[in-house]
């Protein structure tokens, strides 16, 4: 049995883009990849618009909550995907080398 690869979707507030990325990865790549998300400066809650968009797409939203990137530093992360320029610039150094890609998305929140 193989171990799932873990993809961290990183944003600044971890309230919209990265949460949506986590939900999409976990839905569309279930059994192949585990998606997690975090923020460099997490907001208090997931944006209502992100929850509404995910529900509209038929994706589960339970369990989604903003997390500081420090909370996932101990996870075995196989890839970091930054989805905003600020997160790309402030992405921390992980305990082991982790490949990174930057896929900037316009912030749909607000």
- Which residue among the candidates 7, 8, 9, 11 is catalytic per the annotation? 11
91 annotated active-site: yes
- Which residue among the candidates 59, 79, 91, 98 is catalytic per the annotation? 91
16 annotated active-site: no
Select from 95, 88, 110, 99 the least CA-distant residue to 10: 88
- Which residue among the candidates 38, 46, 81, 84 is catalytic per the annotation? 84
Report the DSSP pairing between strands 100-102 and 33-39.
unpaired
84 annotated active-site: yes
Q: How far apart are CA 72 and CA 33, in angstroms?
A: 16
Which residues have a catalytic role annotated?
11, 84, 91
């Amino acid at each position: 049995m193989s171990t799932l690869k873990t993809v961290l979707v990183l944003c600044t507030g971890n309230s919209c883009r990265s949460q949506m990325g986590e939900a999409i990865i976990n839905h569309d790549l279930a059994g192949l990849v585990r998606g997690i998300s975090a923020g460099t400066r997490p907001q208090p809650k997931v944006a209502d618009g992100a929850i509404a968009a995910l529900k509209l797409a038929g994706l589960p939203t339970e369990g989604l909550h903003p997390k500081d990137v420090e909370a996932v530093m101990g996870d075995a992360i196989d890839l970091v995907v930054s989805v905003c320029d600020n997160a790309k610039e402030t992405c921390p150094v992980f305990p082991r080398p982790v490949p990174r890609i930057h896929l900037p998305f316009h912030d749909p929140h607000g």
